[in-house]
Amino acid sequence: MTDRYAVIGNPISHSKSPLIHSLFAEQTGQDISYETIEAPLDGFVATIARLRSENYKGCNVTVPFKFNAFECATELSERALAAQAVNTLTFDDGKITGDNTDGAGLVRDIELNIGVTLQGKRVLLMGAGGAAYGVVLPLLTADASLIIANRTANKALELARKFPAADVRGCSYPELDNQQFDVIINATSAGLTDSEVPLPAGIFAPGALAYDMMYGRETPFIKFAREQGVQVADGLGMLVEQAAEAFFIWRGVRPDTTPVIAALRAS
């Protein structure tokens, strides 16, 4: 019997997840179906109840329901706890297990696809909202030396304080003056409104990587990075890698992401 999965969001019609998971399934010979479900804004819990009653095996969760998914899980992974958000639910034996694969997806894209090792690197994470929360623990697990900068500096300090034993601290943008980083990751929503993030000139170390978690548009951050002559990457690889991590959780098989990223770039 075909095992059923879905991605829940609102809106959801433009999601690339069904295409990504169908390519994974074809490649690995897994018999699954994967559809989009637009839940009403007040209807997340009811949607999960329906999927469970119809024997779905799990689902992905996207905007604006990642915190609802966190609250409805009966078990949570360490990375879901650190993220305070869940993007992957697995239904099994009456349990609802919540995980967050976003940060692992980011780290795998940077290290395996782009080929930049994070260990010991000076990494600047911009933003302290949901997108930033999702990636801090995996960046620290990769042994990066992490600074989190945010327009509202207190939120960056608060996020950094959640990892008291780790090499991480929060700050404002002006405090970045005269510092340099090997990897700068944009986890802000500034690109959505074509706004600049206020980075000082000279922020990139020689050979640095500028990574924008957004994809499908050239953000002012990426434009700025190009002008500085550094390597740039968008979030398409992360999108595919977080999906591969969810696929691995559900199916125990790790798909090859390279042809899937290439197919999405071509489409």
| Contact between residue 224 and residue 253 where contact means Cβ atoms under 8 Å apart | no
What is the smallest separation between the CB atom of 150 and ligand ATR, expressed in angstroms?
5
What is the smallest separation between the CB atom of 181 and ligand ATR, expressed in angstroms?
17
What is the smallest separation between the CB atom of 91 and ligand ATR, expressed in angstroms?
25
- Beta-carbon contacts of 150 under 8 Å, excluding residues fewer than 6 positions away, are 126, 127, 128, 132, 156, 159, 170, 172, 188
Cβ closest to ligand ATR, residue 179 vs residue 189: 189
Which residue's Cβ lies closest to ligand ATR? 129
| Contact between residue 105 and residue 79 where contact means Cβ atoms under 8 Å apart | no
| Contact between residue 24 and residue 3 where contact means Cβ atoms under 8 Å apart | no
What is the smallest separation between the CB atom of 185 and ligand ATR, expressed in angstroms?
12
Cβ closest to ligand ATR, residue 47 vs residue 186: 186
Residue labelled with tokens 């780790």: 166
Query: What DSSP state is assigned to residue 193?
Result: G
DSSP element (H, E) containing 67: helix 66-72
Distance between CA atoms of 117 and 26, rounded to whole angstroms?
31
Cβ closest to ligand ATR, residue 23 vs residue 146: 146
- Applying CB under 6 A, the residues found at the interface with ligand ATR are 127-132, 150-152, 155, 188-190, 195, 197
Question: Which of 66, 121, 162, 223 is flagged as catalytic?
Answer: 66
Annotation says 57 is catalytic: no
Cβ closest to ligand ATR, residue 14 vs residue 53: 14
Sign of CA dihedral 243, 234, 159, 41: negative
Catalytic residues, by residue number, are: 66
